[in-house]
Structure 1
Amino acid sequence: MEVINMHYVKARDFIYKNARPIDMARWKYLFENGSKEAVLEALSTYQNEDGGFAHALEPDCWNPHSSPVQTWVATEIIKEIQLEDRNHPIVLGILKYLASGKDFNGHTWANTVTSNNDFPHAPWWEYEPQQDLSYNPTACLIGFILKYADKESYIYELACQLVQEAYSYFQDHFPLDSMHTVSCFVELYEYMQECQFTQLLDMEEFKTLLTQQIQHIITYETSKWAIEYVCKPSLFISSKTSDFYEQNQKICQFESEFILDTQEADGTWAITWSWDDYPEQWAITKNWWKSDWIIKYVKFLKEFHHSSISSIE
C-alpha cells in the first residue's frame, strides 16, 4: 500500500504543478472530492457559440474552430463526472452543434475538418478528404445523443437511424483494425446498455462481437507497451463492472502492474507518440498529455490494483 501511495503522491505533485485548469478540476473531482461544477466551469471555456468544442481540448489539435473530435472529448469528460442533467447548457450546446449539420455528411461526423490545417496539429489530425466512413468519433456521439437528447427531437430520431447504420458497418467490417474506432463502438454499447435501448439492436450479438473484437485488437506483445503507441485493455475497460472485464481480467491486472512499474521520477508516464512539425507547440502539448495520462492511469489503478483502493481516496 505504501508503494501505491508513493505513486499517487508523485502523480499529484505533477498535476498541481503542471495541469491545465480542466485537468486540475478533473483530478480534484476524481480523487479529492472536488465538484462537478468546477469541472464543468473549466470545460465551458473550450465551448464555442455553435455548441461545439475546440481550443486544444484534445491537445493534439490547436484548432479554435469546433470539430466533432474536440466535441467528443467534451462528452468523455461529461461521462467521467457522470453528469445526468440533460438540460445543462453544455449538453444542450453539444446537441445543438450535432443537430446543425456542420461537419456531418448524413451518416457520420467528420474525423478531421479543413480548418485543422491552419493551426498546429498532429499529423493524424491533418485534414484530407475522407474516402471511407469513419465511426471515430461518430459511434460515441450517437451514444451521447441517445442518452441526453429529447426523445421528440430531430437529433434523437436521427441517432436512432444512425445507430442501425453504425452497427451494420461494424458487422460488415468485423474485425476492425483501428483501436480507437473499436473503443467508440464499446462506448456506444455502454451508452445503450445504460439507457436500456435494447430494442434498437441485438445487444447480445453486439456484446459477443465486441468481446471477440477486443481480444483481437489488444497488443499482447507487452514488451512494446512502454515504447510504442499500442492497444492496452484500459482503452476499453474502465471498471470491473464492464461486460468485457471477465474475459480480460489477467491482462487488466498485468496493466495495473505495468503502470506501477513504469511511472517516471517526476510522477508521469511516458508519452509514446510525438509530432514534429510544430516543436514549440508539441512541447506544451506533451505536458498536457502527461496530466491526462496521469489521471487515466491513477483511475485505472484505483479500480483494478488489489492494494490501491485504501490508498487512493
Structure 2
Amino acid sequence: MAVSTAGKSVKIVVLDGFTLNPGDNPWDAVAQLGELTVHDRTARELTLERASGAAILLTNKTLLDAATLAALPGLRYVSVLATGFNVVDVAAAGRLGIPVSNVPEYASATVAQHVFALLLELTNRVGRHDAAVKDGEWSRCPDFSFCSGSLVELTGLTLGLVGFGRIGRCVANIANAFGMRVIAHTPHPPSSADEPPVDFVPLAELFATADVVSLHCPQTSENAGFVDGPLLAGMKPSAFLINTARGGLVNEHDLAEALNREKLAGAAVDVVSCEPIVADNPLLSARNCLITPHLAWAALAARKRLMSQTAANIAAFLDGNPVNLVNSRELGR
C-alpha cells in the first residue's frame, strides 16, 4: 500500500516503511517536510520506478546500489531508517554528491534488552520449561521441581562484546548488574571505560576467553563472515554466541556445524544472512539455536524515536546542514 501527501515542493519517497509504521507510528513528522509517498515494501524490480523523481529517499532494507543511485539523477539525499547502512552503496552515493544519513541512536536500550532476553532463554530455558509444564511433564514428575538440562548462572561469567558503541555499552551495563566480567574488542577502544569496567582485548582472545560472545559491530566488506570455523573452534564448549547486529557477520554453516558437533553450547540470533530467513538456512535445524525474526530494534518506543530522528535528519538536510552523515569522507566533508 502506498500513502501519499501531495501539494508540497520536495518529493520524499519511503521504499519500505511497514516495519517502522505497521499502523501505530504515524508518518506525520516526515509528511510535514514535503510531498510524501510511503510504500510498505518495494521489490527489487520496482525500486527505480518508485524512486524516480524523488529528491529524498528513505530506505530500511531496500537495496540502493551504485547502479540504482546512478539511474536517479534527481536524487539529492538518502536517509536510512536504521543504524546499519550496508543497504546503501555509500561510496557511490558520495561520488554522486548524495549525502547519506542513518539514525545512530534510537534502539540501544531495546536491543540490549533483547540480548539478555536471548541470553536468559539460553541459560534458564524459560520458554522450554513453560512448554514442558503445559505438556504435563511437571504433573508426571515425582519431585516438586525439575529442570530440562542444566541451568547456568551469569554471575561471575565473562561477557565478550565485539564492538563497543552505544548498544555495546548498554549491554555492558546490564552485564555489570548481573555480576558479569566484561571484555570487548573494538578497533578504537575509548580512553576510559570505567562505567562499567571493561577490559579491551584482541579478537581471538575474546572468543577464547568469553563465556558469552555478543556481536555489536557494523557489517562491512572487510568483516563479512568473520565469525567462522576457526574462530568458533577457539571458543569454550560451554560458551554461547549471540548476534543482534547483522547476519552476514557470521558464517552460518560453520556456526551450525559447531553447534551440531557440540563444540559450542548454544547460540541465539536475531539476524540472518538473508532476510526473511530462507527454508534451507542451516541454523533452522542446528542444535540449541534460538532464532528471532529481526525484532530486537522494534519496541514501539524505539520506533517512535526512529521516526522522530528521521524527520530531524530530513529537516537538517533541507536546512543545508545534514547530520548523521555516513559518507562524509566520500563527500569530501
Same fold (TM over 0.5): no
TM-score of the aligned structures, taking structure 2 as reference length: 0.28
Q: Between the two structures, name the one with larger relative contact order (CA 8 Å, sep ≥ 6).
A: 1
Between structures 1 and 2, the one with greater strand share: 2
Query: Who wins on radius of gyration, i.e. which is larger?
Result: 2
Between structures 1 and 2, the one with greater helix share: 1
TM-score of the aligned structures, taking structure 1 as reference length: 0.29
